[in-house]
């Protein structure tokens, strides 16, 4: 079974402060991991995926297989980062994609 | 980028009636489509995975006779909520994925459909 855990429902930080959104997963094979974001009144969209190892809008996420984690980080939060963030896991191929329960990030001006 | 269109965006129906929601990939062929239900606190629950030309795979606890999913072509999947009841009122979201050359595994989401059952 595959499972994604996001322990924080809400994370409030001040503008300019560092951000870390936690994600832990459970999967027996080699997972594909993603972070999706949903801004207010918009549809879900991809933020980044672990395979590309890229930084998007200042966010990065590193896959730690030992800790089975894929935490999302940003050194300096901006007000426009306020949104719902979902960690997602897929087994690749035609496998299903499982989402965590999401973390609402609130950046306080 | 790839676009997924979901229709209708809002639907209100009477208890006992059936409602169909369409999900279309407009500019790519979706080898797999997923249907999710988003709850008030925003958590996303996967309902079923649908690969083109084959029967949908439902998640545990999701009634396949109640939530009929059809994925007849590479650009269209439908979710039919049969004999809807007030507890079926929710926000349903579809997503599509392309698995071919240069595929990234990314999901492209529809706008969602708000179903209200009176």
Tell me the pairing of strands A60-61 and A72-74.
antiparallel
DSSP string for residues in A20-84: EE--EEE-SS--EEEEEEE-TTS--EEEEETTTT--BTTBEE--BTTTTB--EEESS--GGG-EE
**Inter-residue contact A25 to A69 (CB < 8 Å):** yes
CA distances from B59 to A26, A109, B50, B89 (A): 17, 41, 11, 19
**Inter-residue contact B109 to B3 (CB < 8 Å):** no
Average pLDDT score over residue span B7-26: 96
A11/A73 Cα distance (integer angstroms):
12
| Predicted local confidence at residue B105, as pLDDT | 82
* Binary contact (A86, B49; C-beta < 8 A): no
The first and second tokens of residue B102, run together, are: 């240069």
Query: Testing the interface with B: which of A9, A94, A95 to mutate, by most B Cβ within 10 A?
Result: A94
Give the residue from chain B lying closest to A84, CA to CA. Answer: B42
Average pLDDT score over residue span B47-63: 90
| Predicted local confidence at residue B109, as pLDDT | 95
Beta strands in B8-117 (DSSP E): 10-13, 19-25, 32-38, 44-51, 57-58, 67-73, 76-81, 90-97, 107-109, 113-117
Please tell me which residue, B15 or A1, carries the higher pLDDT value.
B15
Average pLDDT score over residue span B98-102: 75
Of A51, A84, A96, the CB nearest to B34: A96
| Chain A residues lying within 8 Å of B104, measured CB to CB | 49, 51-52
* Binary contact (A97, B99; C-beta < 8 A): no
Q: Which of A83, A102, A104, A93 is nearest to A38 (CA)?
A: A83
| Predicted local confidence at residue B51, as pLDDT | 85
Please tell me which residue, B80 or B53, carries the higher pLDDT value.
B80
The conformation of residue B88, written as its DSSP 8-state character, comes to G
pLDDT tier at B10, thresholds 50, 70, 90:
very high
| Chain A residues lying within 8 Å of B109, measured CB to CB | 43-45
Query: pLDDT in tens for each of the 109 residues of chain A?
Result: 889 999 999 999 999 999 999 999 999 888 899 999 999 999 999 999 988 878 899 999 999 999 999 999 999 999 999 999 999 999 877 788 899 999 999 999 9
Average pLDDT score over residue span B4-33: 94
A55/A76 Cα distance (integer angstroms):
13
Which residues lie closer than 8 Å to B103 by C-beta, 6 or more apart?
B97
């Amino acid at each position: 079974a595959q499972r994604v855990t996001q322990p924080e429902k809400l994370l409030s930080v001040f503008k300019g402060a560092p951000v870390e959104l936690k994600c832990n997963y459970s999967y027996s094979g080699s997972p594909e991991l993603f972070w999706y974001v949903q801004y207010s009144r918009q549809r879900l969209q991809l933020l980044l995926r672990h395979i590309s190892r890229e930084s998007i809008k200042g966010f990065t996420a590193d896959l730690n297989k030992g800790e089975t984690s894929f935490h999302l980080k940003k050194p300096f939060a901006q007000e426009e980062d306020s949104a719902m963030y979902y960690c997602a896991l897929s087994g690749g191929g035609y496998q299903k994609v499982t989402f965590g329960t999401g973390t609402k990030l609130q950046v306080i001006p | 980028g790839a676009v997924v269109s979901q229709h209708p965006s809002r639907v209100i129906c009477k208890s006992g009636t059936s409602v169909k929601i369409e999900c279309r990939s407009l500019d790519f062929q979706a080898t797999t489509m997923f249907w999710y239900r988003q709850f008030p606190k925003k958590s996303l629950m996967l309902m079923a995975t649908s690969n083109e030309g084959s029967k949908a795979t439902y998640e545990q606890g999701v009634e396949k006779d109640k939530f009929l999913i059809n994925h007849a072509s590479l650009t269209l999947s439908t979710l039919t909520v049969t004999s809807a009841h007030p507890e079926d009122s929710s926000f349903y979201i579809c997503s599509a994925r392309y698995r071919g050359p240069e595929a990234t595994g990314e999901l492209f989401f529809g706008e969602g459909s708000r179903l209200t059952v009176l």
